[in-house]
C-alpha cells in the first residue's frame, strides 16, 4: 500500500492527455509502479553496498564486487536469450553506422560511480542521508536533460515549477547534511552522492534509448554493467596498488547481492523510461528511494548512525520539491477549425 501512495500522487500531479484510453492510463500506472519498485531497489542496493564497503574497509573493491556480480548475472541471461544477443548485434551495427552515438553505451560509467559512492559514504552518513543527497542530484539532472534533450529525446520547456522544485530539493539536502558535517566527516563525503546523483538521469536516459534500439532490456543492461565494471576494475586496481588489499571478506552472503539488485533496477528503468519518459521515471523512482531509505534506517540502521529529525524533514521536503517539479502549465487547446 505504501508504494501505491506516491504513484497515485504523482499521476494526479502530472498532466495526462485530454482523452487517454484506459489501456494507456493502465500502462502509465504500471510503469510508474515498476519505477517506484526500481527506486526502492536503488536504496536497498545502497544499504547493501555501504555495508560491504564498511566490512571490507575498501569502497572501491565493494563497488567492483557489486558490478562484477551484476555483469556475471546479466552475461548468463544474455547467453541464454537469442533476442538479447540479437539486440547486442543491433547496437554494434548502429554504432558503426553512426546511427547511435558510441557514448550511449557508457551509461554504466555513471552507474559505476554511483555504486562507488555507495561503498564509500553510506557506512559513514547512513542510507537515508545518502538517498536525500542522491535524489537532489537526480532532480537537477532531470531538469537539465529536459531542458537540453538527449539523443532522440527532444528538449522540453523549463517551467518555473521545475526550477522551484529543484531548488527545494537542494535546500532539503543542505538541511539534511548540515548536522552531519563535523571534523570527523569530510565535506566531500556528504557531497559525493549529490554529485554522482547528477549522472543518474543521464544513465537512465541513454540506457532507455539503447534498450529501444536493441529491442531488449537484457542487451541494454549488459552494456551498462560491462562499461561500469571496466571503469571500477581500473579504479580498484589503482586503489589496491596505493592502499593494499581489503582487510578481509565478510561471510554474510547478503552483502554480495548488490549486483543482483542492480540488475533488477537497471532493467526496470531501461524498460519503463522509453514508455513514460525520463521525468516520470525519475519522479517515481525518487519516491521509492526515499520511502525505502527511511524504512531501512528504522529497521536496519547503519552501525553508529541514528535517524535524525533533520534527515526525516529533509526527506519530506525533497518529496515536496519533487511534487512541485511535476506541476506544469496546462496547454490551451487550439481553436477548432471552422
Please give the average pLDDT of every successive group of 10 residues along the chain, which has 338 residues: 40 43 78 90 92 91 94 96 96 94 93 91 81 80 75 69 78 73 68 85 86 93 95 95 87 93 92 79 80 85 72 81 65 43
- The grid coordinates of residue 134 equal 542522491
* Residue 211 near residue 275, CB atoms below 8 Å: no
- The grid coordinates of residue 289 equal 528511494
Q: Is residue 282 part of a domain?
A: yes
Q: Is residue 75 part of a domain?
A: yes
Provide the 3-class DSSP secondary structure of residue 217: helix
Residues recorded for the chain: 338
How far is residue 46's CA from residue 265's CA, in Å, rounded to a whole number? 12
Q: Is residue 41 part of a domain?
A: no
Q: Is residue 2 part of a domain?
A: no
Q: Is the dihedral of CA 263, 265, 267, 269 positive or negative?
A: negative
Q: Is residue 306 part of a domain?
A: yes
Q: Is residue 23 part of a domain?
A: no
Q: What is the pLDDT of residue 333?
A: 42
Q: Is residue 248 part of a domain?
A: yes
Q: What is the pLDDT of residue 87?
A: 96
Q: What is the pLDDT of residue 213?
A: 92
Query: What is the total count of domains within the chain?
Result: 1
160 Cβ neighbours under 8 A, 6+ residues apart:
none
DSSP state of 253: G
Q: Is residue 13 part of a domain?
A: no
DSSP state of 99: S
Q: Look up the pTM and report it.
A: 0.77
Task: Give the domain range for residue 86.
Answer: 53-325
Amino acid at each position: 500500500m505504501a508504494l501505491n501512495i506516491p504513484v497515485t500522487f504523482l499521476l494526479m500531479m502530472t498532466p495526462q492527455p485530454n482523452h487517454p484510453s484506459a489501456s494507456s492510463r493502465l500502462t502509465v500506472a504500471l510503469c510508474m509502479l515498476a519505477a517506484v519498485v526500481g527506486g526502492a531497489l536503488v536504496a536497498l542496493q545502497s544499504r547493501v553496498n555501504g555495508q560491504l564497503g564498511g566490512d571490507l574497509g575498501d569502497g572501491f573493491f565493494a563497488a567492483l564486487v557489486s558490478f562484477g556480480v551484476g555483469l556475471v548475472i546479466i552475461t548468463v541471461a544474455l547467453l541464454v536469450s537469442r533476442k538479447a544477443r540479437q539486440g547486442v548485434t543491433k547496437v554494434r551495427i548502429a554504432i558503426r553506422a553512426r546511427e547511435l552515438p558510441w557514448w550511449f553505451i557508457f551509461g554504466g560509467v555513471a552507474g559505476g560511480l554511483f555504486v562507488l559512492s555507495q561503498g564509500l559514504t553510506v557506512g559513514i552518513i547512513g542510507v537515508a542521508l545518502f538517498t536525500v543527497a542522491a535524489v537532489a542530484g537526480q532532480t537537477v539532472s532531470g531538469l537539465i536533460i529536459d531542458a537540453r534533450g538527449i539523443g532522440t529525446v527532444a528538449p522540453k520547456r523549463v517551467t518555473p515549477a521545475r526550477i522551484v522544485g529543484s531548488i527545494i530539493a537542494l535546500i532539503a539536502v543542505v538541511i539534511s547534511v548540515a548536522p552531519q558535517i563535523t571534523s570527523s566527516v569530510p565535506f566531500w563525503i556528504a557531497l559525493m552522492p549529490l554529485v554522482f546523483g547528477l549522472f543518474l538521469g543521464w544513465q537512465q536516459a541513454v540506457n532507455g534509448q539503447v534498450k529501444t534500439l536493441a529491442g531488449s532490456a537484457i542487451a541494454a543492461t549488459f552494456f551498462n554493467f560491462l562499461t561500469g565494471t571496466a571503469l571500477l576494475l581500473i579504479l580498484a586496481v589503482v586503489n589496491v596498488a596505493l592502499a593494499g588489499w581489503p582487510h578481509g571478506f565478510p561471510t554474510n552472503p547478503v552483502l554480495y547481492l548488490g549486483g543482483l539488485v542492480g540488475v533488477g533496477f537497471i532493467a526496470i528503468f531501461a524498460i519503463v523510461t522509453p514508455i513514460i519518459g525520463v521525468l516520470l521515471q525519475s519522479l517515481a523512482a525518487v519516491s521509492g528511494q526515499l520511502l525505502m531509505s527511511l524504512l531501512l534506517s528504522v529497521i536496519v540502521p547503519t552501525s553508529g548512525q541514528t535517524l535524525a529529525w533533520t534527515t526525516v524533514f529533509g526527506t519530506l521536503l525533497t518529496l515536496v520539491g519533487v511534487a512541485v517539479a511535476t506541476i506544469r502549465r496546462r496547454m490551451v487547446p487550439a481553436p477548432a477549425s471552422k
